[in-house]
Structure 1
Amino acid sequence: MVTKLSKLERTATVHQDNLFDSKYQSDGIYYEDITFQDILFDSNYRGGGLFVIDSARIRVNNCFFIHFTTDGILVERGHETFISSCFLGQHSTVGADKGEKDFSGTGIDLASNDNAITDVVIFSAATGVILRGQANIVTGVHSYNKATYFGGIGILVKAAQNRIANCYLDFNAIVIEDPAQVHVTNGYFLGDGNIVLKSIKELDGQFTTIDQVVIDQNNVNGMSLRSTVGELTVAGNGTQWVADFSSVLMFPNRINHVRYSFYTQGGLVGFPASAVTNVSNNVVIVESEKAVNGVVSIVVDQHNMIMDRTVFFTLYSQEWIVGAGILMGVN
């Protein structure tokens, strides 16, 4: 146990291509139910802090990692390593360090599935957190490890089916490579903090499908906010209400689902018929059969759900109506 769960002294990490094959996750577990608590890991600039390999149900709680050159914590294979209430940094700093542009290494590298990072601060490193495995959850992370301006990354997602919630990206970004089934929710982004969707394969044109990727309920400071979900309210007296989501939505010319509510004002008698008559270029148009003083609230999203087919809105071949809260196409 000491040789594998020990201070990591190395210059590079080799990740196997079949790292997440099921046999590696289920048949190669050698260590179980180990707790690291209230420990100072000082690597003295000679390597990394903690290397957890082929293990299950490992807890790293209330630990401090400092002076690493590779990884503060590296988890390879296995599953269910829980990292909580920890501080990690290559150099001792409280931010705006004059040597920030030279920070290197990674705070936490999860090359494993089914792990959790909770209430962790990464205060100096080139990359705060790397997710190479699936089904991991990152909650309450504050990353001010290295600013985007100097090439730093707060959280780097290199695998599908990961969740990032309630995190504070402090002058750096969440970078998601080839995004698939990734949830980023309730985040706070300061300075150059943002979300970058990156293809590691060369793309010619735009994304053709957005499959189970949700970016919603985030906060930013000093930047425009983009999301895969948008909600607008339009008031007017007439027969047409236009909601332009182009400044809100992440992807151009892509709306997969529409829901709207129609409120009439001024004591109108009866129930005027209304319908969504056009959805294109991230603009939704709702029209009524006669002029009314009304308010239309519209909610749209850009992601596909499980077992969901991409909806293509074509004004000339189909009429779209809303009934019982479900968008239906009528030929």
Structure 2
Amino acid sequence: MKECVHSRSIDLKKACLKVLTTALLVLILSLTLQAVFVEGKYSVVSRYILYEDGTAMVTLFVSNIEGENVIYLPLEKGYNQYTLRVLQDSIPSPFNITSDGRLMIEVSGVTSVIVEYEASLGTLINDSIVEVNLNPFTQAVVVLPPNAALLYFSGKPQIDVESNGITNVILSYSEGGSYTIKFVPIPGGATVTSPSKPPTQQTTQAPAGGGMITFLVGGSAIAVAVALLLLFIFLRRRGEPIEPEMHVGLDERDLKLLKILERGEVSLAELAKESGLNKSVVWRRMKRLSDEGLVEQRYEKGKLVFKLTVKGIKKLKELK
């Protein structure tokens, strides 16, 4: 089987992608004390949970919508429409996307709305540094991957670091804008456990105009050391050509997804769960496999499902 041309980045992408603890979620919500009003009387707060490959789980918390009939919420340009979910008072609800990339939601008689979706916001620089560009239209909370080393940020965020066996770096922006964040995902097998005592935190106010992070807290010293080492490697490789973000043929992860589809139709969420891959990664691979005629996709009861085509079944037999 042909190997993935971009295989040098695989080890860095094996860093843990675990759900943050309840304490972290409480911290994120506690940072959103002031309401930001858009297009009406309602208020919106954005949260970005970043993954090692530069994708993000974006959540919009909308409140103060009493008396509103329709609200409009801008989406990040790299949003994945198949991951969009809207909850009105905790109940799934329909929505529309306008031609200019905004979410239109009817909210008559509703008190709160939560919007969730995945978006591709980042790129990998020379197999070591992830650069993320985000454009929140209101105040925003950005959560880096566990144990990731923050290298650079733009704007003037408040920086909080939570240490509970792993290090979580959180940037809080008080207003909307266009921001760039660079970090190094640190390989490791850290897991999230329920804390027996409140996690330790350290808050740093960012200097005006952004800055380069060289040291966060004592608990992240190892992460920073690895980051500096990777920066040294990056500087030495500046004259080398950057490998393209593409695949030649099918790799092991493609084969894993095709084998899961052997049993019949499988949803996007089930593919992500069984393969252990991020949902956005699965989506990109399934789209490519669909373009190659190996996989067919369709909607069943509002859910996106995939199945092997005749060509896909034949290809899978050849690869076994």
- Calculate the TM-score normalised by the size of structure 1: 0.21
Which is strand-richer, 1 or 2? 1
Which is helix-richer, 1 or 2? 2
Which structure is richer in relative contact order (CA contacts within 8 A, separation 6 or more)? Answer: 2
- Calculate the TM-score normalised by the size of structure 2: 0.22
